[in-house]
Structures are given as structure tokens and as C-alpha cells.
Structure 1
Amino acid sequence: MSTVATIAVVVVAALVVAAIAAVALRPQLHSRTLKRQFGPEYHRAVAAHGTAKAAEQDLEERLRRRRDLDVKPLSAEARERYRNDWTDIQEEFVDTPEQALIDAGRLIGRVMHDRGYPSDDHEESLAALSVDHARALQGYRRARVVARRAQEGEAGTEELREAVVNARGLFTELVDAGSPSSRSTTPS
């Protein structure tokens, strides 16, 4: 066999091996991409669905539904108004921490609605938020658990304070996303 033929065989063999490796590794790369994008929400979905495959199908569906939404940044005026509303909630916390946490949840709901996230169905809202704000959503979920405990009279002031801080993480991301100062660091 000539040198050119040998080189051609080696190149073809290398291409075949590379193609097989790419096909074999694609699911792992896809899983890694979803884990990176969804962070703790990925693991939450696996726990909820029982298998990584079922969880990944759910997360893919969330991505598809999110693409259909018209999520937009807030205007500068709306951002300022919402920040002022959040300041009022923090002041309210001093006298009525339970009500402040409830009002924080309502304010986040208004911001979500104004941004274009679904706001009629709570689970659909959380699924859509998980695409863009998965890490902050984890804190918001914890805040909602504390809010339910507070309604039953089972949450102390420190728990309520931590819940408001957790809710503020999502609030801040929602309000700041797409603003000139956050375009390079905050997801929409």
C-alpha cells in the first residue's frame, strides 16, 4: 500500500472514530449543558421525576415553552418604581414581617407579569423562571415554604428575614435583567 493510501485510511479511520465518539458523548454533553444552565433546578427535576432522562425531557420542554414567551426588560421607570416598592417592603418588615414576605411575593408576581413571564399558573411561572433564573429561583422557593409556615404561625422572625433576603435575590434578577448595567452579567 502506498504512503498516500495509508494516510487516507488512517484519516478515514480517525474520522469514523471521532464521529462515533461524538455520537456516544452527545447525551453526556447535553446533560452537562442542562446541569450548567439549570443548576440546582436540574437536581430538583431529577428528584421530582425519578430519572435524569425524564427530568431532562421536562427541562427541554421548559426551554421550548420559554422560547415562545415575549420576555422583555423593564423600563428604567418601572425598575425604579419596583425598587422603591421593595424598599417599602423592607421597611414594612420591621412591624409586620409575615405581611412583608407576602407582599414581597406579590411584588415579584407583578414584576414577572410585567416582564412577560406567565403569572396565571404558579407552576408554569416557576418553570419559565427556571430557564433564566434557576439559581435565584431556588431561594425564592425556600421563601415560599417559609411564607406557608408563617401563615400557620410556625415561622420565626429570623426565618422570615432569611426568606425576604432569598426572595430579594429573584426580585433583583428580575428587575435588573436587561438593564444597561446588567446586560453582560444577568440573564433575561
Structure 2
Amino acid sequence: MTDITTIIVVAVVVIVVAVLAVVAATMLRRRRSAELRDQFGPEYERTVRDADDPRDAEKELAQRRKRHDALTLRSLDPQERDGYRRRWQQVQEGFVDDPSRAVHDADALVADVMAARGYPAEDVDRREEDLSVAYPVVTQRYREARAISREHSAGRAGTEDLRHAVTSYRALIGALLDDGDGTGSGGRPENDGRHRQGGPDQDTRRETTA
């Protein structure tokens, strides 16, 4: 084999290897994107939409998942779960007399349940990120509830908005309490549908973990 032939063969091999590497990297990136999209659902779309580069968004979501996997989470025992459900019932009943206070208490209950489950709940933004890994759908509702609370503080949200906020909090609290329950209750707190007249809407869906 002449020197020219050898050079040509080596060049072809290098090109083929490079093409295969690019194809493999592309397939790996697409598979990772599909996995993140499947796990995070609406949270994936939101994060990609808000990012300058979709790859940065996917990197952020992957970091969230890694951080979440490092948490030591626990299921609540029946006594704890019942106690939090009673607190939630008090939030619902208190809505009639003081909707603003009910929203505040609902947010505090979310933080307490998360802390009991093992989430670092002090940082509100961190709460959203951690929750989005396992509860991407109700995390969107949690954001809505927080946004309504801020609007109310600024005088731009009324009672119906606060009602929606409490219902959104309910979806997240139900999911957190029902995790590991195995009772088939769908994450619904006790006395579902038996709230005082004028209380927040009870009809919510259970968030399923990814």
C-alpha cells in the first residue's frame, strides 16, 4: 500500500469515526431530552421557554433531578398524615372568615409537610425546583397560588383569586400527603367535599410521581 493510499484510508477511517461519534452524541442528547420531557412534563416546557438555550434548560433540570435523588425523603406515618389533614381542614374552614389568612396558612402547611418529608423547605424557590422533580403538574399550580398571594398583597387579587389559590395549594398538599399512603385516596384530605359553604373548590386531581 502506497503512502497516498494509506493517508486516504486513515482519513476515511477518521471521518467515519467522527461521523459515528456525532451520530451517537446526537442520539444520546435526544434520548436525554425525551427522558427529561417525559419526567418533567409542563415543567420541561416552562424551563426551556424561559432559557436562552434549550441545552442550558436541560442541564438545569438534570441538576434538579440529581439534587433530588440525593435527598433522604420519607413517607409520613399515619398519625402525622392525619394531623396535617386536620390542619388542612382548618385552612379550608377558615377561608370563609379570612381568605387571605387561609392562603397564608396553606403556604405554611406546604412548607411544614415538605420539611417533614425531608425536603429543604426554607427557600421558597428551592421548594418549587425540588417539587418539580416528582410533582411537575401540581408544581405549576403551586406557582399560580404563590403568584396570586403576591398579587393580593399588592391589592390586585380578589376573593375568587384567593379561592383558586387555596384550591391549588390543596392539590400539592394532597399529593405530598398521599405519597406512600397506598390507600387509593387520590391525595384528598379527610372530609373531602364536606367543607363549609363558600370554602374553596375541592375538585382536584392527584399528582402522580414521574
Verify same fold: TM over 0.5.
yes
Indicate if the aligned counterparts of 2:114 and 2:121 stay in contact, CA closer than 8 A: yes
Question: Counterpart of 2:124?
Answer: 122
Question: Counterpart of 1:6?
Answer: none
Aligned pairs (5 A) from 1:89-100: 89-100=91-102
Question: Counterpart of 1:187?
Answer: 209
Aligned length: 171
TM-score by length of 1: 0.83
Q: Which amino acid aligns with 2:84?
A: Y
Aligned pairs (5 A) from 1:1-188: 23-181=25-183, 186-187=208-209
SS of alignment partner, residue 153 of structure 1: coil
Indicate if the aligned counterparts of 1:177 and 1:183 stay in contact, CA closer than 8 A: no
Distance 1:183 1:59 in 2: 30
Distance 1:183 1:59, change over 3 A: farther
Aligned CA-pair RMSD:
2.3
Indicate if the aligned counterparts of 2:111 and 2:122 stay in contact, CA closer than 8 A: no
TM-score by length of 2: 0.75
Deviation at 1:179, TM superposition (A): 1.1
SS of alignment partner, residue 155 of structure 1: coil
Distance 1:37 1:131 in 2: 7
Question: Counterpart of 1:4?
Answer: none
Question: Who wins on radius of gyration, i.e. which is larger?
Answer: 2
Once the two structures are superposed, residues 67-104 of structure 1 have per-residue CA deviations (whole angstroms, 9 ceiling, x without a partner) of 11011111111111111111100000001101101100
**Structure number with higher helix proportion:** 1
Runs of at least 5 residues in structure 1 that lack an aligned partner in the other structure: 1-17
Indicate if the aligned counterparts of 1:176 and 1:186 stay in contact, CA closer than 8 A: no
Indicate if the aligned counterparts of 1:142 and 1:163 stay in contact, CA closer than 8 A: yes
Q: Which amino acid aligns with 1:131?
A: V
